[in-house]
A and B are shown apart, each in its own frame.
Chain A
């Protein structure tokens, strides 16, 4: 029978490394997706994801279980990502270049050129628009879009009220719509 997250956490707190490995195997992909959504760079996202689980391992002894394990791990991941994003802002990457590399690697060039052009332009615009959001606004968009989390869970992860989550989502979507008005 598969153990629950809570049971695995209790085993981790008793020093069982294999229980922690199981938690990492359950959440590494989801945590990476959220971090990648925020940082938009694979290497940085992998580094922050590994650091997230390292911090989780170090702090798991103090985890009381007041919230679920996944909101707790996402909180660590989002906080580390926001820190990394602020450092990234000071030392920005060329996101358009990385997007071109990615599209090429996915074989996009072999499709209908007109559809490709529109799709590529829309993706570029969207990537740029997402990147222009503040870390806090980007976080609500990513948690809602990738994980489909409720306002309550997002509020728990970000340490703010449901009302704040709602207003941040509204503001972020309005910003994205304004920048993509020609495509929507």
Chain B
């Protein structure tokens, strides 16, 4: 089927009855001459007949009256309000949209918190990091005013440590 790879899609459309009369005739003539396309058609027809056989034979008939009574029961049943709310949410927010909604809600919450602290007229927390020597040692200071909590964190950069080793600097005071 060299050079006929694009014909497979046309064969499918032809089997599905989606080709016009002229297109169908052209494809039919081609398939008579092309063994590859003829084989592709045979395989597709076999797949389709097997699919039909499996999908239709497994689905057993449904008795109408018991089915209708079950539907009536649902119609007459009073559902809890949260069930309706969940159904509404599922309709408005299918799974594909949730991927966008979750980060958007987080961003909105963060924006809300930031705006709130701005309108309250001042910061309620403070954080800074300062380098304290040439060997990569730093101090980080975090201050939370509402709870009067202060955290002082002393640490050394990995990179600074390597540089210090290369320069064979004398070891500094241990924190």
Contact = CB atoms under 8 A, between A and B. Distances in A.
The answer to whether A and B interact is: yes
B48 interface: yes
Given A36-B59, A145-B52, A50 B71 contact: yes
A20 to B, nearest CB: 9
A151 B16 contact: yes
A33 B56 contact: yes
A54 B50 contact: no
B59 A37 contact: yes
A49 interface: yes
Question: In the complex, which range does the number of interface residues on chain B fall in?
Answer: 35 or more
Contacts of A166: 9, 12-13, 18
Given A29-B62, A42-B60, A177-B43, A126 B9 contact: no
A176 B16 CA distance: 17
Contacts of A32: 59, 62, 67
A141 interface: yes
B68 A25 contact: yes
Contacts of B70: 46, 50
Contact of B67 (A46, A55, A123, A127): A46
A33 B44 contact: no
B112 to A, nearest CB: 31
Most central of A45, A50, A166, A176 by chain B CB within 10 Å: A50
Question: In the complex, which range does the number of interface residues on chain A fall in?
Answer: 35 or more
A19 to B, nearest CB: 13
Nearest to B73: A50
A79 B90 CA distance: 10
A146 interface: yes
Contact of B90 (A58, A83, A180): A83
Interface in B21-45: 43-44
A73 interface: no
A141 to B, nearest CB: 7
Interface of B: 8-9, 12-13, 16-18, 43-44, 46-48, 50-52, 54-62, 64, 67-68, 70-71, 74-75, 87, 90, 94-95
In order of increasing CB-CB distance, the 4 nearest A-B pairs are A54-B74, A36-B59, A53-B71, A33-B59
9 contacts: A25-B68, A33-B56, A37-B55, A37-B59, A46-B67, A102-B58, A126-B50, A146-B55, A180-B50
